[in-house]
Structure formats: structure tokens, C-alpha cells
Chain A
């Protein structure tokens, strides 16, 4: 039983990063129709930025904030510079994002290198609760993720900005006629999703070493979470992220660790076929193409 609890606790911190990336994807994909496969690369840039700043003597929390801001800015520039020209044809946006995957990955390799990078533990130490050992940093990651989830959830479902956003997803033209600056909301959602990716990257490098190739691994998880939970559905992303995190953690501890990745892909394909709208339902997804 202790081993089970231990696996559960360990899975939670992995699930947290998956939830952060998945939440960004579900919001961007579900609410703006942009399929950004470079989202995982955004997370990688966040992690690398944290590493660069930390290795230049910036404290972890300062590096975390700066990395989050840098990735947010990156998202702003790319949305305004590239993705806004593809809003009418989402498939082109998807292809552009594939190009961005290649660019971001190799620019990072070009400037630094392709080796594994890690930072010293920001908060060393372990809590002993009953028979379960909790690494404090992991608990902090779970706490930050919970806060980000709560903010996103309430901003979208309770605030007037969230209402305006949902209105522009439901009917873009009518929303625009009501005076909602739809274009600006698209940018805002994209930047918000990018901020979450940057935060996820900073938290990920606090837990594990990362390489410039981490983006492609997490982005597929992110899309799995977004599609399993239902596009644009924050609660769905959280549920799906927890499911995938637990499946990952438990299959690593018990069954067959070499099949770990296969479970999430198989689950995603199954849900896309049986329930294309996701477990908890979401927006129709992007229109057209």
C-alpha cells in the first residue's frame, strides 16, 4: 500500500506538467482554432531559459518568472507575426507550427548544444508523511499547477472576460458586433497558453533534466490531454492530465514500463474515435478545413 501511495504521489508531479501543457493546448486549440504543434517547443524554451538564467546566477524563482515572461513574449510575437495570417486556414497554421518546431529546436541546439541540461534543486528536502516520502519541490510543483488551474478555470467560467471569450468562440461575428475585440482575444488566449507552457518548462527542469528534444515528447501528451478532456475545457484537461499522469506513474511502478507511452496514445486514439468531443465535452474545435 505504501508503494502504491508513493507511486501516486510521484505521478501527481508528472501529471502537473502534463496538465500545464495540455491546458495551454486545449485553450489555444479549442478557443482560437490554432493547432500549435510547437507548443511543446515553447515549454522547452521555457526550461532552457530557466537553465540559462540559473546558470548565470539568477535565483530559481526569478528565473521561473523571467522564463514564463520570455515564452509569453515569444507567443505574442509568433501569433502576431505568423499565426494571425493562418486563422482562415487552420491547416496552414498547423504546418507553420511544424516548421516552428524545427526552427526552435535547432536554434536552441545551435546556440547551446543538444545535451541534457539540469539545474540544482531549487528546494532540496523531503517530507516524510507516514510511509510516503514526498520530495518538497514536487509538492510545490503540484501546488503551483493547482493555482494555475484555478485561475484559468475561474477566469474563463466566471469573469466577464471569460464570458466575452466564450461568446466569441460561439459566434465570432455576433460577438464582434457586440463590441468584443475578437482578434485581441485570440492573441490573449495564445499568449496565455504560451505563458503556461513557459511555466511548465521552468517547473519541469526543476524536477528532471531536459534536452532540446523534450518538446516533441510533451506536445503529444498535451494534445492527448486536450483531446481526451474536450477542446477548450479546462476541467477536462485536468481530469485527462491526471488520468495520463497516473497511468504513466502506475505503469512505471507496476506493469510494463516500456509500454508506458503506448497507453496514452492508444487511449487518445480510442477516445477520438468513440467520443470525438472528448470525455467532458468541449467546443466543436476549429471550424473549416
Chain B
């Protein structure tokens, strides 16, 4: 029974969560949902909302990356490329076949998942650093292909996208409604990540991360699960891409190059890839705070780099892991 084997491997890799732990995570999500929705009705400025929308879109993609890196232990610095696949899929099917936002969501999710699966294939043969560099090269190659794609991809100038269509008479192209849509998708992404992390599937992925040979030895099909993790993270990236294309209304190859990918990977590291709120924290710290605090963009980048180096050296689990450790210590003191 490979399934029992997966459970055993996971038991070795990580102690099982107590039964009561799952609702606690869900309560946190509900609180976050209340806060995020509340913000929309508290009369935020236009700028605040638009920064929040772009941060939320990034965070959705980060949850995909967190499944891949935090659970399965595969680091990819090609994730902006996958967002680009989603965004370009949406833009191309809109321009060629007149398919709008809603059909684009499932189509881009499937296309991006397939591309992510292909991107995952080399991970079966090479691992660690070699693989990281392959994903980096994938991203760089994708940018070149998009730039040289002629009228099909709009070349260096990129493609224009129409507004998001209405749903049940609600105009989603209004900024506040777009924000609520992004919040809804983000919460779904967080919920999905939570469910994956606490499922047998999540334990299987973690057993691969902790000891791939052992996982294989007790009958886990590691190759299939790795590709699966890629495809799951591709779905997140594809949906984020569609949202980004329809939010920005214009996409171009430079958005999806190797360097945006590096920033995505760094955001996940900064926040904490293994924790439910880690990627969210990473996106807020890197994308949202500097804009809202009106930091000079160059200063913000320097602060971000220094912060990242400090976090990796001092709190290898990310900022949220640091908070969790602090909370544990505080609780022990109170008792």
C-alpha cells in the first residue's frame, strides 16, 4: 500500500499535526478575510487599493511557489515566467478568439499547469543548484521567445487586454471590485495551500523534501509527485497571470523575465515558505509597505536586500517563522 507508506514516511519527516490544529488555521484565515474585506469599505485611497491589488496578485503566485518550495523542497527561480504564461495565454485568447476573463481563468490555469509540468521534467534528472539554474534559464528563454514572437505575442511592445467582464451585474473593472475579486482568489489560494499542507498529499511532498531516497524506497512515486507539485504551483501562477493581465490591461515580456522571478523567490524566502502566512507576509513587506510608506524605490530595494540577507542568516525559516518562535517563547514565559 503506497498510501500507508506515504503516511509512514511523513511521520518520520515531520510529526503529525494534532487533530485540533486545523480549525485554528481556518479561524486565522477568516479573521484575515474580515480585515481584507473591511479595508475595501473603510474608504481607502485609490493608490492604496491599487498597490493592494498588485500585492495580492503577487501573493497568489507566491502561494504556488510556496507549495513547490515549502512543501516539496524544489526551488524555482522561473516563477515569473509561469505567471507570464498565464498572462499571455489570457491576452492571446482574448485577442484571437475573443474569450474574456472568465473563460481565460480555467484555460490559462490548465495551460500554465502543463507548461509547469514540462518545466518540472528536468527536476527528475538534475536537482538542487543545477535545477535552480535551469529554471532561471527557462525564464530568460521565455522572455526572448516572447520578444521575438512577432504579432502573436506582440513582440517587445507586448499585448493589450480588455477590461474584466461583469459578473451578475457587478462591474469587476471598478478598482474596489477588482480588489475584492483578488482578495477572494487570494483567500482561496491560501485555503488551498492550507488544505494541501495538511493533507496526505502534503505529507507525501514533505517526505520527498526531507529524504527523497527514503520516500522512494517505501514506495512513493517521487517523480510523479514532483511533477504534480509543479502543476499545482502552475495553476496558482496561471490564475495570478490572468488577474495581472486584466488588472494592468497591458503586458510585455520584461514583466516576466529572470529578475522578476528572482524577486518572487526572495519574497517567499523572506516571509517563510513553509508557513501559511509566510508568502502573504513576504508580499506585503516587499510590495506593499515600501509603496505605502512612500519609500524611494532604490532605498526600498536596498533595505529589502539587507533585510533578506539578515533573515536568511538569522531566521532561516523566514519572518513568520521568527514570529511563531517568538510567540511560543512568550507563551512559555506567561505560563
Chain A positions within 8 Å of B, measured between CB atoms, are: 29, 35, 37, 82, 85-86, 89-92, 94-96, 98-103, 105-107, 109-110, 216, 220, 223-224, 227, 258-259, 261-262, 265-266, 268-269, 272-273, 276, 285-286, 289
Contacts and interface: CB of A to CB of B under 8 A. Distances in A.
A269 B138 contact: yes
Nearest to B141: A265
B132 interface: yes
Contact of A223 (B133, B259, B304, B313): B133
Going nearest first, the 10 A-B pairs with the smallest beta carbon separation are: A103-B305, A102-B305, A99-B308, A106-B301, A99-B309, A265-B137, A99-B305, A262-B144, A106-B302, A265-B141
* Prevailing SS type, chain A contact patch: helix
A265 B305 CA distance: 27
* Prevailing SS type, chain B contact patch: helix
B122 A96 contact: no
Contacts of A258: 144, 147-148
B301 A91 contact: no
B145 A262 contact: yes
Contacts of B148: 258-259
B126 to A, nearest CB: 5
A89 B313 CA distance: 11
Contacts of A96: 308-309, 312-313
B122 A273 contact: yes
B313 A82 contact: yes
B265 A98 contact: yes
Interface string B109-133: 0000000000000100110111011
B75 interface: yes
A84 B266 CA distance: 20
Interface residues on B, range: 35 or more
B134 interface: yes
Contacts of A261: 140, 144
Interface in B137-173: 137-138, 140-141, 144-145, 147-148
B313 A259 contact: no
B132 A85 contact: no
17 contacts: A37-B262, A92-B313, A94-B129, A96-B312, A100-B305, A101-B262, A101-B305, A103-B301, A103-B302, A259-B148, A261-B144, A262-B145, A266-B141, A269-B134, A272-B133, A273-B134, A276-B130
Given A82-B309, A98-B265, A99-B266, A273 B125 contact: yes
Interface string B284-327: 00000000000000110110111011001100100000000000
B222 to A, nearest CB: 17
A98 B76 CA distance: 13
Contacts of A223: 133, 136
Given A99-B309, A262-B141, A285 B129 contact: yes
B267 to A, nearest CB: 11
B189 interface: no
A285 B130 contact: yes
Contacts of A268: 133, 137
A35 B125 contact: no
B57 interface: no
Interface string B70-90: 000001010000000000000
A98 B140 contact: no
B104 interface: no
Nearest to B147: A258
B269 interface: yes
A109 B144 CA distance: 26
A230 to B, nearest CB: 12
Contacts of A265: 137, 140-141, 144
A216 to B, nearest CB: 6
Contacts of B259: 216
Contact of A102 (B126, B266, B316): B266
Contacts of A29: 129
B258 interface: yes
A106 B298 contact: yes
A106 B134 contact: no
B172 to A, nearest CB: 34
Contacts of A95: 265-266, 269, 308, 312
Nearest to A102: B305
Interface string B260-291: 00110110010000000000000000000000
A73 to B, nearest CB: 19
A98 B307 CA distance: 12
